[in-house]
Structure formats: C-alpha cells, structure tokens
Structure 1
Amino acid sequence: MSGILPFSSIVLPNWCTISRRVVRMAAAQTENAGLSLEAMAIKPPSHPTYDLKGIIKLALAEDAGNRGDVTCMATIPFDMGVEAYFLAKEDGIIAGIALAEMVFQDVDPSLKVEWSRKDGDYVHKGLQFGKVYNLKRRMSGIATLTKAMADAAHPAYILETRKTAPGLCLVGKWAVLIGGGKNHRLGLFDMVLIKDNHISIAGGISNAVRSVDQYIERENLQMEVEFLHCGNHDRYVYNVYFKVETRTLEEVKEVLQYASQSKTSLTRIMLDNMVIPLPNGDVDVSMLKEAVELINGKFETEGRVAVCCAMVHSASGNVTLETIHKIGQTGVTYISSGALTHSVTALDISPKIDTELALEVGRRTKRA
C-alpha cells in the first residue's frame, strides 16, 4: 500500500494561504496500488443539480473556519513533509476512496495518491490502506451495513431511502451502491411516490393513482427504467418511474383492481409495515407474503412488458439484520431500509503518521 495524507491541507480550503507539502509513503502491504479515479468501478449516482464538489468545499471550509488548522500551523514546519497512512480499526467494506481522490484534487492538484484497496473491497482490522477521514468513515459504515443486508436479503435487493444527513444524500447513495445495494429515488424529481398523505388528500388510493396517471400523460413525462428481476436486467421506457405505497391488503387489492380496468404507468407497489414484530423478537411476514401473492396473481398484464415484470414490489418498515433474510424469502423484489443512511455507525478508520520519518525530518529541520 502507498498513500498520501495532506497533513494540514486536508482541512484547509484552496483559498487559505497556508499549505503543507506532503511526500509519498510506502507501507508493507501493497496490492492493486496506483488506482486512479477513472479506474474506480463504482461511480456516484447521476444527479442533475447536486454539486458534489461544492459539498467537498463546504466540508473543508467547515473544519478550516477563518484561520485554518491552528494546531498544525503551530507545531509543524511550513515546508515539512510527512509520510502517513490510514489504518482500518475494524473489519468492514471500504467506501469513499474515489471521493477522497476528489478531495485531494481540490486541496492540492499536485498531490500524488496511491491506494492498496478500492471502493467496495473488504478491509480487515489492522490493514493500512489509504486516506480521507470523515466522509470515508461514514461511507464505509453505510457500505458495510449494505453488504450485510444485501447478503441476507438475497434474492431480494436492498434499497436505501431519502432519509439521510442534509447535503450528503448522494454520498450515502454512492456508498449503498459500493456495498452492493440499489438506489431508491435520488430526490422528489425522478420518481412519483404516492404516500399516505397523498392518498388521504386525493380521497383514496385509486383516486391518487388515477391523478398521477393523468398528470404523467398530460405532461408527457418519460424516464428509462431498469427492472432487476425475472432473472434479467431488462430496460423499458416508461412515462416515469411510478410507485404507490400500500398499507393494507385492501389497498393492494384496490390498486390491482384499478390497474386491471385502467391504463396505468404504475411500476411498483410499496408494501409498507406488513412485517409484524412479535413479542419473542421474531417477525410475522404472512401479510407481506400474501400481498406478494396477490400482486403476482391479479396484475397479469400492463400491455408494455412481460407478465412477471409488469409490476415490481418492495417491502419497507421494521427492517433489521435479524429479520432481513426472512423478508427476502417472501418473494419481494426490493427491501428498503432508512437505517442504511440515517442511523448508520461510521466505520472506525484512523489516520496515522509515520513517527520515525517525521522525527527524522524534524531533526533535519531542527524541530525535533
């Protein structure tokens, strides 16, 4: 492994006048070194207005304030270079390396950065692998939890939700992809999602679905949709990705009845809170399983795609690692969990400085 940690410039934005030079380091464990940003297999979700570079600048400015890193400026010579590495302090899935490349490019384009691991790789406790700190720790925590849930959920797919830290939506969704999950909608613009409030205002779930169908046709909204079921990765052009939340079996039946009698752009039924917690800590998924069977049996055609692909269904609510496998066996295509991005524990990663080299450089500069 080899990597670079910009010792004080990591918290100094470009407009700060004080900078520190860093030098390339080499550590004992080296594998797949020299991965460039272009070589990263998993890139962030595409978003029309979200400025990832702007978030990086804000994060740097948040640490730097109006003075920069006063501790580093007080204790480290202006022209001193140090060798540094990042140490995994627990096992997990690493995420945020490509983001770190963007941070380093913003701080100092002349920095050379090399890695021993790439986004999505497993790291074990004690492994020296690379750099950037806060966002990487959060992303790695999300990716690690996603990987665990994705493995348990198979053959269902894991989705995050929009519940996340403000300004970090895209970062969290990127980490979910790295961990092996699939992305829910990026925002309010790329999916129609009818929820309980919409249903109440519309006067019922059929009225709400009908209103959306009329709006989609009137506005001529279009979006390409990838279906991740039926054993294939098929793409179809729908007017727009359109999902409705159902809370009871009666609502599922009402949606299916509407869809059997009307032309609809509906693409997914969300089965909300149909996983019932039991006093013994287990869960009852019988309602969820019945809903899945109702969907497969009643919504036979939509006139656009094959029968088994006509409607996707997802389950949300009461999702934990202990119950995820049981839910995945009901036949749902997706399982969504807000916990992936709103209450995840950051992976414990620590930046370390090569003390011996720093002391040697300090002696040469008469600072040690």
Structure 2
Amino acid sequence: MTSKVKEEKNMTSKELLKKQLMSGALYITQLIFPRCCTTTSRQIVRMSATETRYPGISFQSMAIKPPSHPTYDLKGIIKLALSEDAGDRGDVTCMATIPLDMEVEAHFLAKEDGIIAGITLAEMVFHEVDPSLKAEWSQKDGDYVHKGLQFGKVYGRAHSIVVAERVVLNFMQRMSGIATLTKAMADAARPACILETRKTAPGLRLVDKWAVLIGGGQNHRMGLFDMVMIKDNHISAAGSITNAIKSVDQYLDKKNLQMEVEVETRTMEEVNEVLHYASQTKTSLTRIMLDNMVVPLPNGDVDVSMLKEAVQLINGRVDTEASGNVTMDTVHKIGRTGVTFISSGALTHSVKALDISLKIDMELALQVGRRTKRA
C-alpha cells in the first residue's frame, strides 16, 4: 500500500472530498445544445464548467460557482501568480529565516467592513503551494464581515503559508472589494439588475466576474464570443444601426446560431430606428443599450428623463440596459426608471480592495518552537 493510499484511507470523507476538489485542474468546455421548443435547426451556444480529474465533484459544492468560460484556465492563473512572485529562486527570505519543517497557524482578519470573496480561490492557491495545508473558515464567499472579525485560519508548514500569503491576499482583497461594491450597487439598483462590463484586469476576467456574482450582481457577456453586442464602431463600419442589426441577423441565420443580441443606442432617434426595424423584420435582437441617457446636472444630481422616455417607448418588447454615469449616488434613481439592467465598469476597473490580513499566531508558533527547541 502506497503512502498516498494510506493517507487517503485515514482521512474522513469530508477531508477526502476537500482534497479531491482542490487537487484537480479546472476544466471548462464549451458545449452546443440543440434549441428547445422549436422546429428550426438553429443551435444555442452554452458553456459548462466541469472538473476533469474528479467528474463527480463540480462547482455545485461551492457557495457560489464561478462563471463559465471555454478557454480560461483558473489553475493556470494561480500558477502564473505564484510564478511571478517566486521568480527563479523562490522565497529567499523564507529560506533564510523559517525552518522548512516548522508548522504554524495563521489567521485571516478583516480590517474593514465588507463582503468576503475569494475563499474558494484561496484554498486553490494553498493547495497549489502545499497540498498538506489545511484551511478552516467561519464565513463563506458572499458573507458580510465586520472590522476585526477573524473569519478563517490556515495550518501547516510556515514556509508554505508565507509563500502563499501574498497571492492569496491579492486575490481575496480584490475579489472582496468587487463583491462589496457590487452588493451596495445591487441593493441600490433594485428592481433593476446590476451588471459589470469587460473592463476587467487583464488575465483576471473570470475572477473579477466571479466576484460580481458573489456580491449579488449578474454577469454581462464574458467576452467577444458569447453575445453579439453592436456598438458605435460596428454601427459606423456598417453605415447605420439598421444595417448592423440586419448583418447580425443574416450571420446568425447562416451559422445556425442563437445567442443574445444587444445594440447600443445614444439618442431617441436611434431607439426609434431600432424599434422600426424590429417591427418590420424578424430579428434576433434581445436587448437595447441606452448609453449616456443619464445626464449629469451641475448640482451633482442626474436627469433620467430621456432614459425613462426610452424605456417607456420600448415598452418591454426587449430588455433594456442603462450605461454611462452610473455611480453609487445615481444608481438608485436609474433603477427606478423601469430599465431591466444597469451596467457599470466601475465595479471592476477602479474598485478599492478590501483590507484583509493573514497573520501567524505568534504565541502558538513560540509554543511549537519551544517544543522543537527552535525558540
């Protein structure tokens, strides 16, 4: 019997499940399913996230699953983050100051109020650094934490914990900052739904959008591949909004694809042009973006009359999305116009990280040191 088999035999079912969950690489694949309830041959593009090494274990076991992506390698992002920190020599300070076999306990501390996010990702980082590290949490992703709350701890080799520390905190602090702002905006936007945009940190698209879900928001398109979004440059190249939508309809029909189609409008004339086309032609259009129809006023307030007029004109024929001049101060007023969605790039492109620390329990470390004659 190998040492690995002996180790797993002595584990509880919960410990084994956790080990299996954290040890497999994330595999995300794109599936194509036939469209339901139709006699046409058009197909719907969908995606699913599965776990390769242990197919019986999926993100269903997590508090909030990450969004799906056909090519994103979450484990690869973790390895990259660790690699850029370690360079070609590793942690020279740890190697100089911390015995390789020394074991300690370190505590996660919230240093300000907010929504915690990134716990699942933190466990993946710990596992990548050292599978023997064990983490315990009093909170889960999406829970509120107050300043001074100790919400988790990790136990194992001190060297491994310190090596993982910065990468874990970088992910958790950014994700928690996004989740905290998203929660505040989502609450203020009701009954409208809050969305992020593609204005995410390069390489962290899935991580940023995962944090939005944890904060109670919804995801806009993941990238250029999963939704048609006709914006100003597409319209300029096509010659008109009508030409652009018509070209999209022809393309989707030719490729036998069905996906959401959104078109950006900036004036009431453009809204009317879109509605006229949709009334005359069978179209795949599902959403109209009402861009910059929230007008800032000198007193700091906003005028939403044009946005409200556009929503009333559309009258539920397709979903509507407000974009532009969306802040914590304006989102409540925008949400009351009847718009379906409100998108905000600020959720991810300029968010303030939540202050979180990870500190080794010095008293416990000293006790261990005395027992091993290291202190």
Q: What secondary structure is seen at the aligned counterpart in 2 of 1:335?
A: strand
Give the CA deviation at 1:47: 0.6
Give the CA deviation at 1:366: 3.6
Question: Which amino acid in 2 is paired with 1:64?
Answer: A
Q: What secondary structure is seen at the aligned counterpart in 2 of 1:45?
A: coil
The reply on whether 1:145 has 2:167 as its aligned counterpart is no
Match of 1:353 in 2: 360
Q: What secondary structure is seen at the aligned counterpart in 1 of 2:132?
A: coil
* Structure 1: runs of 5+ lacking an equivalent: 1-35, 222-238, 297-307
Q: 1:318 and 1:348 mapped to 2: Cα distance? A: 27
Give the CA deviation at 1:38: 5.6
Q: 2:292 and 2:131 mapped to 1: Cα distance? A: 49
Please say if residues 178 and 212 of structure 2, whose CA atoms lie closer than 8 Å, have aligned partners that are also in contact: yes
Of 296, 301, 310, the match for 1:282: 301
Higher relative contact order (CA 8 A, sep 6+): 1
Match of 2:323 in 1: 316
Q: 1:289 and 1:145 mapped to 2: Cα distance? A: 25
Deviations 1:43-87 (A, max 9, x none): 100110011110000011111111111111111111101111110
Deviations 1:2-37 (A, max 9, x none): xxxxxxxxxxxxxxxxxxxxxxxxxxxxxxxxxx97
The reply on whether 1:262 has 2:281 as its aligned counterpart is yes
Please say if residues 173 and 355 of structure 2, whose CA atoms lie closer than 8 Å, have aligned partners that are also in contact: yes
Match of 1:61 in 2: 83
Match of 2:204 in 1: 168
* Structure 2: runs of 5+ lacking an equivalent: 1-57, 154-167
Q: How does 1:298-313 map to 2 (within 5 A)?
A: 308=316, 310-313=317-320
Q: 2:174 and 2:282 mapped to 1: Cα distance? A: 44
Give the structure with the larger helix fraction. Answer: 2
Deviations 1:130-159 (A, max 9, x none): 263110100000000000000000000000
Please say if residues 43 and 174 of structure 1, whose CA atoms lie closer than 8 Å, have aligned partners that are also in contact: yes
Give the structure with the larger strand fraction. Answer: 2
Q: 1:75 and 1:177 mapped to 2: Cα distance? A: 40
Of 115, 124, 133, the match for 1:102: 124
Q: What secondary structure is seen at the aligned counterpart in 2 of 1:351?
A: strand
Match of 1:15 in 2: none
Q: What secondary structure is seen at the aligned counterpart in 1 of 2:172?
A: helix
Aligned CA-pair RMSD: 1.3
Q: Kindly, what percent of the aligned residue pairs are identical?
A: 81
Match of 1:241 in 2: 260
Q: 1:37 and 1:76 mapped to 2: Cα distance? A: 36
TM-score (norm 1): 0.81
Match of 1:303 in 2: none
Q: How does 1:40-189 map to 2 (within 5 A)?
A: 40-130=62-152, 132-189=168-225
Please say if residues 59 and 66 of structure 2, whose CA atoms lie closer than 8 Å, have aligned partners that are also in contact: no
Bigger mean CA offset, 271-280 vs 65-74: 65-74
Bigger mean CA offset, 60-69 vs 152-161: 60-69
Question: Which amino acid in 2 is paired with 1:273?
Answer: N
Q: 2:72 and 2:152 mapped to 1: Cα distance? A: 27
Give the CA deviation at 1:111: 2.5
Q: 2:63 and 2:148 mapped to 1: Cα distance? A: 25
Q: What secondary structure is seen at the aligned counterpart in 1 of 2:135?
A: coil
Question: Which amino acid in 1 is paired with 2:240?
Answer: G
Give the CA deviation at 1:105: 2.1
Q: What secondary structure is seen at the aligned counterpart in 2 of 1:341?
A: helix
Runs of 4+, deviation exceeding 3 Å: 36-39, 364-367
Q: How does 1:194-233 map to 2 (within 5 A)?
A: 194-221=230-257
Change (3 A) 1:71 1:53: same
Please say if residues 86 and 129 of structure 1, whose CA atoms lie closer than 8 Å, have aligned partners that are also in contact: yes
Aligned residue-pair number: 304
